[in-house]
Structure 1
Amino acid sequence: MKIGEIATAAGVTTSRIRFYERQGIIPSAERGVNGYRDYAPDLIALLRFIEQAQGLGFSLKEIASIEIRTGEHIVSCTDALAMLAEKHKSITALIAEARDRKARIEALMAELQRNKDAADSAI
């Protein structure tokens, strides 16, 4: 399949495919005698997986470390569950950190508002 066909089928841009190829995220395409890239149709599933994983917050480095298989499920359920559990853990920690930061900001805002109100009433 040509790059445009693969891009359309996977819902990505051709430049993204070229980028993934340069970065080693996807295998290099075969080149025809005309110099055009010729991709295997099973690349569609991999590109969709990469997009889904990035949408869930996985970096390309994390995605590249995954063992990709052939067939309907390109990542084993065991590997996927382990990765998702680790991502869930890190996101839970980020949420806790953000909530703590929010509470500290709100406390500082309240203190500054009280100081401002006291200064304004002293005038």
Structure 2
Amino acid sequence: MKIGEIAKAAGVTTSRIRFYERQGIIAPADRGANGYRDYPEELVALLRFIEQAQGLGFTLREIASVEIRGGAHIVSCTDALAMLAKKRDTVTALIAEARDRKRRIEALMAELEASKAASGI
């Protein structure tokens, strides 16, 4: 498949595919005699996986560390569950930090409001 076809099928841009190639996230495409990139149809599933993983907060480094395989599941369920559990724990910690930060901001705002009311400025 040509780069435009694979991009359309996977729902990504051609520049994103080229970027993934440069970063080593996907293997470089074979080139035809005309110099055009020729991608295997199986790449569509990998590109969709990469997009989904990024949407869940995984970095390209984390995605690149995953062992990709063929078949219906390009990542083993065991590996996927382990990665998702780790990411969930990270997100849980970030939420707790954000709640604490919000609480401290609101406390400071209340303190400043009280100070403003008391001083009239």
Question: Which 5+ residue runs of structure 1 have no aligned equivalent?
Answer: none
Task: Provide the C-alpha distance between the structure 2 equivalents of 1:49 and 1:99, rounded to a whole number of angstroms.
Answer: 31
Partner of 2:23: 23
Percent of pairs with identical residues: 79
Task: Provide the C-alpha distance between the structure 1 equivalents of 2:23 and 2:96, rounded to a whole number of angstroms.
Answer: 33
1:4 aligns with 2:4: yes
Q: Secondary structure of the residue that 2:53 maps to in structure 1? A: helix
Query: Post-superposition shift, 1:56?
Result: 0.1
Task: Provide the C-alpha distance between the structure 2 equivalents of 1:81 and 1:72, rounded to a whole number of angstroms.
Answer: 16
Task: Provide the C-alpha distance between the structure 1 equivalents of 2:119 and 2:21, rounded to a whole number of angstroms.
Answer: 62
Runs of 4+ in 1 over 2 A off after TM superposition: none
* Aligned pairs for 1:1-123 within 5 A: 1-120=1-120
Query: Post-superposition shift, 1:71?
Result: 1.1
TM-score, normalising length from structure 1?
A: 0.97
Question: Which 5+ residue runs of structure 2 have no aligned equivalent?
Answer: none
- Deviation string, structure 1 residues 11-50 (Cα, Å, up to 9, x no partner): 0000000000000000110000000000000000000000
Q: Secondary structure of the residue that 1:58 maps to in structure 2? A: coil
TM-score, normalising length from structure 2?
A: 0.99
